[in-house]
């Protein structure tokens, strides 16, 4: 078996193989290589400079059975026997479901999560989006402090467990997207600087020195992170990757790393015959993120749209602190802009930032599915002081209004696990750092962050307390508090899949609203989504003239009316209208649908 490692700064390198040290030969470009007999499960690592120096795990380890600081184990990704053929599932027309393996079930494993995927497929979900699964210290955590970008967290089930989960998803007709972190590694267990210039002080991020994407030695660093991304897509038959916080990838080279990565992913899709895609998390509101490479863009296939979330959150909750302030001045106008233009901040002044921010998308040329829309995410819940979900914060009835715009709106919809049944369990920030000093620093930092906003230290959940993770686990399914909410989500997803053609441009959506009366109607494709956000006033909203419309779904009974009179919506209610006719399962004009009432 061939062993190789990039260690350009090392004077000598040994392979540690089940207790035996074997010297490696130095090749060009800082690579060290040797051949040795080994099979699946064989433990190995590398020793740098001095033969009695500590054993370090392989930076490209595919399995770390003893955690990120222990030796690696030989594994063969090609050895897994796939049960279900899979031709892939693209992003256009997708309904995403963000899932954290460690809290989706109390067991917190891939196998336990796999056992519940059938319910998601029945709901109409098309892709599960797994939060990061690379190894991190301890057993439980969010996953964004991973330190081994090629491996899989062993407490979840390791690489074979991930393969079983993906296989089960494919068997249920679900694609799988994986959240990956290229902008930093965790504060504990990161051995990469011992091997080479993986990080640079030329740039800094909120986590410290930036990943070296543009300095000396950056060719290999870029190949390291791109290679890990391609390996997950190829070896685990994933459909896509979500790239964490790409705005923190400091990169001054003429060919940006992200453009290089997107080209490599497109080439892999061509070779495998499966549609593959990359979804960015970016706060830049920069159209170049999703613009084609031939138009000097990065070529990523979609990005999260926090502006839509912020506008919707303000409309549902009335919160106006922090970055919500810009959206709270005229909530209906802000929501309308994100539904039709994508970005709210598209070059104008952003008070929260104290400067102009963003740039306008080309509405006619940008397919709406290239923006991902959501009412909740792990960030927007877990970074609140108490991790309170929307159903707990605003009530399931108001949350149902958000679901109508997310699931029947123009953007690619995404739900956060449990949202579909109105889960009220919090999702809080939790860690399992093994270093006591680091654990205390995280605990104190969390308390200090929220103390600045008026929270008492004793009210902030201790990230290291196992009870914090326990509180964050979903309850399945007998303890569901609002089964009618599940029916509402199922109905909305069914309408979307039956009636909304994928690939429509942002320009195809139009919105009318009344800021004072707090109602909004969205028209795109054959659908009209009408929402009355007012807690105490009914609203009569205009209905597009022309073709007759049927009432496809509503949170509350809607009085019979006609296009001339408009649609009469009770307070805090939503309705979805579509073409009348002989579609199977479609109610006649203005009939009350069979879907359950939410709220």
Which residues form the catalytic set?
244, 281
Q: Where are the beta strands (DSSP E) in 391-492?
A: 412-416
Q: Which residues of 187-220 are buried (b: 16+ CB within 10 A; e: fewer)?
A: bbbbbbebbbbbbbeebebebebbbbbbbebbeb
Using an 8 Å Cβ cutoff, are 446 and 429 in contact? yes
Helix (H) or strand (E) holding 258: helix 257-272
CA distances from 357 to 149, 326, 386, 440 (A): 32, 12, 30, 36
> ∠ at Cα 309 (305, 311), nearest 5°?
115
Place of tokens 């949202």: 419
CA distances from 494 to 122, 125, 382, 408, 553 (A): 10, 10, 29, 10, 10
Within 8 A by CB and 6+ apart from 453, the residues are 321, 385
Using an 8 Å Cβ cutoff, are 6 and 48 in contact? no
Q: Measuring CA to CA, which residue among 191, 196, 264, 189 is closest to residue 233?
A: 264
At 90, list the tokens.
């693209």
User: CA torsion sign, 190 to 59 to 304 to 427?
Assistant: negative
The rounded Cα 293 to chain-centroid distance in angstroms is 23
Using an 8 Å Cβ cutoff, are 418 and 389 in contact? yes
Using an 8 Å Cβ cutoff, are 241 and 177 in contact? yes
**Cα distance between residue 475 and residue 473, in whole Å:** 7
CA distances from 529 to 397, 410, 553 (A): 16, 11, 10
Within 8 A by CB and 6+ apart from 280, the residues are 242, 243, 246, 258, 289, 290, 298, 300, 302, 303, 304
Within 8 A by CB and 6+ apart from 17, the residues are 3, 36, 38, 42, 43, 44
Q: Which residues of 399-412 are buried (b: 16+ CB within 10 A; e: fewer)?
A: bbbbbbbbbbbbbb
Q: Measuring CA to CA, which residue among 472, 370, 399 is closest to residue 431?
A: 472
**Cα distance between residue 267 and residue 273, in whole Å:** 10
Q: Is 63 in a helix, a strand, or coil?
A: coil
> Which of the 8 DSSP states describes residue 532?
E
**DSSP assignments along 303-334, one per residue:** EE-HHHHHHHHHHHH---SGGGHHHHSSHHHH
């Amino acid at each position: 078996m061939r062993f190789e490692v990039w260690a350009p700064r090392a004077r000598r390198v040994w392979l540690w193989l089940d207790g035996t040290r074997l010297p490696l030969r130095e090749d060009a470009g800082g690579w060290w290589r040797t051949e040795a007999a080994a099979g699946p499960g064989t433990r190995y690592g590398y020793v740098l400079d001095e033969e009695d120096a500590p054993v370090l795990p392989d930076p490209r380890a595919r399995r770390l059975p003893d955690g990120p600081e222990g030796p690696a184990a030989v594994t063969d990704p090609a050895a897994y026997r796939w049960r279900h053929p899979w031709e892939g599932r693209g992003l256009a027309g997708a309904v995403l479901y963000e899932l954290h393996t460690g809290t989706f079930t109390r067991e917190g494993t891939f196998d336990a999560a796999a056992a519940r995927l059938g319910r998601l497929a029945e709901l109409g979900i098309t892709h599960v989006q797994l939060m990061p699964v690379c190894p991190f210290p301890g057993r439980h955590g969010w996953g964004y402090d991973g330190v081994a970008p090629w491996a899989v967290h062993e407490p979840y089930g390791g690489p074979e467990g991930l393969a079983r989960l993906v296989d089960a998803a494919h068997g249920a007709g679900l694609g799988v997207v994986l959240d990956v972190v290229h902008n930093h590694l965790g504060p504990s267990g990161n051995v990469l600087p011992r091997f080479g210039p993986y990080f640079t002080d030329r740039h800094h991020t909120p986590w410290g020195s930036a990943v070296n994407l543009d300095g000396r030695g950056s060719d290999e660093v870029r190949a390291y992170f791109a290679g890990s991304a391609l390996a997950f897509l190829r070896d685990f038959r994933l459909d896509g990757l979500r790239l964490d916080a790409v705005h923190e990838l400091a990169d001054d080279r003429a060919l940006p790393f992200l453009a290089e990565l997107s080209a490599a992913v497109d080439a892999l899709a061509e070779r495998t015959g499966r549609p593959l895609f990359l979804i960015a998390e970016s706060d830049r509101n920069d159209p170049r993120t999703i613009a084609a490479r031939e138009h000097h863009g990065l070529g990523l296939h979609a990005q999260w749209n926090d502006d839509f979330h912020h506008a919707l959150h303000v409309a549902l909750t009335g919160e106006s602190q922090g970055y919500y302030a810009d959206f709270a001045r005229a909530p209906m106008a802000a929501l309308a802009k994100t539904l039709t233009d994508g970005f709210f901040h598209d070059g104008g002044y952003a008070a929260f930032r104290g400067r102009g921010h963003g740039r306008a998308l080309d509405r006619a040329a940008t397919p709406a599915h290239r923006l991902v829309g959501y009412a909740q995410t792990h960030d927007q819940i877990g970074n609140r002081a108490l991790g309170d979900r929307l159903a707990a914060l605003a009530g399931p009835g108001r949350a149902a209004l958000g679901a109508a715009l997310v699931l029947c709106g123009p953007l690619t919809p995404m739900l956060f696990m449990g949202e579909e049944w109105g889960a009220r369990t919090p999702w809080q920030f939790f860690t399992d750092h093994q270093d006591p000093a680091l654990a205390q620093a995280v605990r104190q930092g969390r308390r200090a962050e929220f103390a600045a906003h008026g929270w008492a230290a004793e009210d902030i959940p201790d990230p290291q307390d196992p009870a914090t993770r326990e509180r964050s686990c979903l309850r399945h399914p007998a303890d569901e508090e609002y089964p009618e909410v599940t029916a509402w989500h199922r109905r909305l997803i069914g309408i979307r899949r039956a009636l909304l053609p994928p690939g429509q441009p942002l320009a195809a959506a139009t919105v009318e609203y009344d800021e004072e009366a707090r109602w909004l109607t969205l028209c795109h494709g054959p659908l009209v989504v009408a929402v009355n956000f007012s807690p105490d006033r009914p609203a009569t909203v205009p209905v597009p003239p022309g073709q007759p419309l049927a009432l496809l779904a509503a949170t509350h009974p809607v009085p019979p009316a006609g296009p001339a009179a408009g649609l009469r919506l009770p307070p805090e209610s939503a309705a979805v209208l579509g073409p009348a006719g002989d579609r199977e399962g479609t109610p006649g004009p203005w009939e009350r649908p069979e879907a359950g009432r939410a709220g």
